[in-house]
Amino acid sequence: MIEAVENHMPEVIVIDEIGTEAEALAARTIAERGVQLIGTAHGNTLDNLIVNPTLSDLVGGIHAVTLSDEEAARRGTQKTVLERKAPPTFDAVIEILDINKLAIHHDVSQVVDAYLRGFVTAPEIRQLKPDGVVEVIAGQESYTHPDFVPPRLSTDRVAEAAIPYGRVLRIFPYGISRNKLERALHDLGLRAQIVKQTDQSDVVLTLKAHYRRDAGKFQDAVASGIPVHVVRSNTYQQILGALREVFNLSRISAEERALQAAQTAIEHVLQTSEPVELSPQSPYLRRLQHQLANQHQLHSQSVGVEPSRRLRISK
């Protein structure tokens, strides 16, 4: 005799190593049916998921939005900005810092929204002590919180937090060659605005000799939480290295850098209708850039010859 057994929806589903768009879509479908979902994905930080086009849907995904003139003026941004597309699949994200330490983002939607607007939200840090007690060693805080003061920076490097993806960084070069700075920004495919006053900037670049001689001029910047980054000499390579540290490029994979450059170019094309040529990339990275341009219904083609073959994006 066969006894009929009523089917029950599971209460919890665990997915290990989400790595494809199909798996990310399946995770969203599961979460939308009210099942508690636990999953793991490749990426050291929440920022890695946001800029990963394959996995970004796990935290709500991002897309370019064109604002009205009034709204752009109210926000103080360009007309085309990046925003979250949908509610995140996971309400909370936990970063494994080491075997006994975790970083917890309790409200993913809030963190992602702040990230896309250029603000950094520090996660809650929990550590397992040798006696088995879990200690909260840092609470979740945001740079936008009225009582939060960004940490002062050393004169040798800038803050550990990466510059938010899609954010136009304002740089005040004090004694730095503007031509070399513009060239380095272009070669790295970075998006930045060069300003003429410290109080208009997000970061100050200056030479070591200027910092030693005019240290008093930088005290207001440091007190206001504006990073002051010291460059040893006014050479292209030194400026290039400084920008790599400012944008934390050493922590970003080649794929993410190529996609960031493509996204910046896409926004420029959408705003101005002017074609943009990117920096030379390998065939694999150019294919990723092609795919991103196609998602925005833009034309893209590879131009030049190896090893200088690169992508050209246009309407």
**In one letter, which amino acid is 16?**
D
pLDDT of residue 7: 55
Average pLDDT over residues 196-206: 86
Q: What is the pLDDT of residues 138-191, one digit of tens each?
A: 655 443 333 333 323 233 333 333 344 445 788 999 889 888 888 888 766 677
How many contiguous H segments (helices) and E segments (strands) does the chain have?
Answer: 10, 17
Domain for residue 21, yes or no?
Answer: yes
pLDDT of residue 249: 63
Average pLDDT over residues 216-235: 78
105 vs 220 pLDDT, higher one: 105
Helix (H, G, I), strand (E, B) or coil at 236: helix
pLDDT of residue 313: 92
Average pLDDT over residues 11-22: 85
Domain residues for the domain of 63 are 12-142
The CA-CA-CA angle for residues 41, 98, 54, to 5°, reads 15
Q: What is the pLDDT of residues 235-284, one digit of tens each?
A: 877 888 888 778 766 555 666 677 878 888 888 888 888 888 888 887 87
User: Which two tokens mark 282?
Assistant: 């390998």
Domain for residue 164, yes or no?
Answer: no
Q: Any idea which of 16-25, 151-160, 207-216, 227-236 has the lowest mean pLDDT?
A: 151-160
Asked if residue 122 and residue 75 are part of one domain, the reply reads yes
Helices (H), 42-82: 46-51, 69-75
Domain for residue 147, yes or no?
Answer: no
Domain for residue 156, yes or no?
Answer: no
Domain for residue 162, yes or no?
Answer: no
User: Which two tokens mark 301?
Assistant: 């083609």
pLDDT of residue 91: 86
CATH code for the domain of 261: 3.30.1370.50
Q: Any idea which of 71-85, 181-195, 219-233, 300-314 has the lowest mean pLDDT?
A: 71-85
pLDDT of residue 30: 83
Asked if residue 312 has pLDDT above 60, the reply is: yes
Q: What is the 3 state secondary structure string of 83-142?
A: EECCCCCCCCEEEEEECCEEEEECCHHHHHHHHHCCCCEECEEEEECCCCCEEEEECCEE
CATH code for the domain of 227: 3.40.50.2300
pLDDT of residue 146: 33
Asked if residue 128 and residue 76 are part of one domain, the reply reads yes
Q: Give the closest residue to 45 by CA, choosing from 160, 188, 144.
A: 160
* Whole-angstrom distance, CA of residue 287 vs CA of residue 219: 46
204 vs 186 pLDDT, higher one: 204
Q: Name the strand (E) or helix (H) holding 193.
A: strand 192-194
pLDDT of residue 143: 36
Q: Domain boundary at 213, 247, 281, which?
A: 247
Asked if residue 31 and residue 123 are part of one domain, the reply reads yes
Total tally of structural domains belonging to the chain: 3
pLDDT of residue 151: 29
User: Which two tokens mark 222?
Assistant: 């440091």
Question: Is the distance from CB of 82 to CB of 75 less than 8 angstroms?
Answer: no
**Average pLDDT over the chain, rounded to an integer:** 76
Whole-structure pTM value: 0.42
Q: Domain boundary at 247, 281, 297, which?
A: 247
Complete DSSP assignment for 241-252? HHHHHHTTGGGS
Average pLDDT over residues 278-303: 85
Q: Domain boundary at 142, 159, 180, which?
A: 142
154 vs 26 pLDDT, higher one: 26
Confidence of residue 8 (pLDDT cuts 50, 70, 90): low
* Number of CB atoms found within 10 A of residue 11's CB: 8
Asked if residue 217 and residue 132 are part of one domain, the reply reads no
